[in-house]
Structure 1
């Protein structure tokens, strides 16, 4: 019965382990299959963004993704939507990518996450949030060699600044964008950047500069963009009074029109040019055609020009009619512009309000964090104090116990010593008597030896003095002081022999004992200084400058004494050895 139960338990355990293994295999297979799909979708992104979006939509079980895979999926999905011109309605996906890549060192991914987050907020009509993320992407992208993305970032920032009527920063960013597009050989984007620069100059009434940039943009432009740039260039020429060039570019634009509204837009430019030249019939022909437009801005300007034309003709009643139409449309446009301005102001207020709330929350969080740190610090201090007190009391208790044990051991030892005291005293007395006799014998022997040594010392001293005098009158000393141009190995060995064996016994040995790692040059400086050779002569013998010798003496003093000192301190130290 017992063996049957064990068999059942073993079978259950085996089943559980198999299920766990199967679960791990499924999870791993899902996790493994996702990475190639993401890589494939990223490869499709530029040429076939619709295929990339379908591929990303086919990935299910996002809950099984790793954080890195999920962040990449969110980034690529937002990018695919953007490239397929699908308007963004929420920033929830791209924020996942932003929050992940902000904590990594993948600067390229971080820049893309910031860029597409800016695009999302642009679609959500939150210009300030979009601008904030574009600036973050621009700051990261400046450290990367990515002219394609930097050009788009600068162009988008320039556009946002134009909306805020901040023309100087808008101009700077658009010019920088044009430089990046030229570097990347992206002619379409380059033409748009040059056109935007020209429009900024028009807003600032710098028409000659605007004409220059419109002219630069035209060679890179085709299709409908060429129509609008040619028409705007024609208008700019009309404003500076060069009507012939204006008509030329307006007719170029007219040849590119495809819709009625485009034809009306170009006809308005032609009508204004002819009106400024007082060619009334041609102006009336083109301006009358403009009344077919469905664009409220085109109609507004058309009625204003028609009122001026009728005023020249002297038809005041018709002029008033057109003026009324113009005022009505202008009120409509102003209301729309006013609503847009209010919307921008509201967005700005909301953004600033949110930022203030964020800052308030940050300050509150910092304040609470500081309180927490203080509380933890005080708590840790008191805990440490309690531990120290407990440890001190424990040590004191152990110390008292040790003292008590030692006292008991001493008492026991005294008791043991008292029983042997008499025997030891007698033995000590006998030993002292024997040592006294030995000491007397030793004293006699020492006296005799001292007398012999004194005699020998007297003889050695007279010999040493003679040897010293011999050295200072020798050719070696003469060579050291005057004749030798440089100290060679044989001469150095002779000097060492005289110093160590005759003049100053074991001098070099003493130096090496104090400073074991001394170099040969440093030892030569020590020996020559010991012989009282002048610094200038030492410099000649060692092929050095006098300053170098003095510096070596100063360093040697520190190495020999472990103290700071001068070259003279070194000389005194050497003379004392």
Structure 2
């Protein structure tokens, strides 16, 4: 084969050279010279880089994947198995696609990635069903079933095993069914299939499978207190251990040697590639770093501007709410009363000046020349204006008093309502009262009626309020304690406290305790 490779290499027929390297790699594979086999297969790939012989290219990559998998190089194996799938796809080889998918599933299982494992085996299984070859379906189903067993999913495994014709002459099939029953604690069925798998003449028997069966049977017998038979099975399993250890040790040494040779060769190749790519990688990293810095800076600036804008809007909303509250506050009432007293004094002073003027006109004229106009004498228009201002302030105070009285009545009505009592009952520990959506809707309606459309106002103050945060506000308005809130909302007391503190911070953009939020909501 070396002479054939040399011949086609000299005469430049790339298609034939690719095939020659493929057969050379196959020979190295058969004589267990793994590094040389991999090298030959890689040279076959290089020779057929522009080839359209997709079937041979698919087979080359499949062989390479198998060799990598043998050396536990699962990631390398997965890469070439994926390439083999692409070539089988181009070749439109349905059978090849089935086994390419199965091979990828095997690698994901070896890398402990169960989701990907199931995905690729499921793809392979569905393609096998469409391919409609019972032998292929049986092969994929048995392997897929054992994958489910490894993942601790016996029901899915049994479904696959029973979806194919019973294979009483196949030890792997019988072992799979026995293992599925073992996982579901059906020990009689387990023993039946395990014992069937141990009978002479069964296909696919090997010392690893037989040893596993003996160990499982020993465990089952011990659980049944049949210690004598359990001991016999243990003894049979131990008799196979020497052979297994010897085989495993030989394979391990071969794998280590092959792995060392392969890694050594790969290291030299990688060093050459790295020297050519170091500068390019450095430039790419530098560009990426600069882009990241620019991007992060832009994001930070934009975030800062957005936070400032949100804080400003929130401040404006708070100021507006404070103005609305001040309009009907006790402070406004007192301020209006003081202004009324001042106006009364000014009007009284004006009347006194008028009387003096009628009685002592001459003396008054002299005095009036010395007294500032605004303080001593008022025109008729100014007097009427003051009278009007006084009336407006009186009406305003009456309105404030009426609003306060109305608010007090609405509050008392709410606190004596059935929904108020229902929520207080639900807040008590060990109470059977359960709050549903209809209760929350009624509570919302009653609170909005009692507290001047509370829901709309709190949403205006804090637009991104969540449903749970709104419920906490309703419970505060209902005078429910944090412990009671936790009982109603099925949360811990600490969760309620943290939620109130977070909500206060979102509204005021500063840290604060939950009690501060309570004060805001109760005064709102």
> TM-score, normalising length from structure 1?
0.42
Please identify the structure whose Cα radius of gyration is greater.
1
Structure 2 length-normalised TM: 0.46
Higher relative contact order (CA 8 A, sep 6+): 2
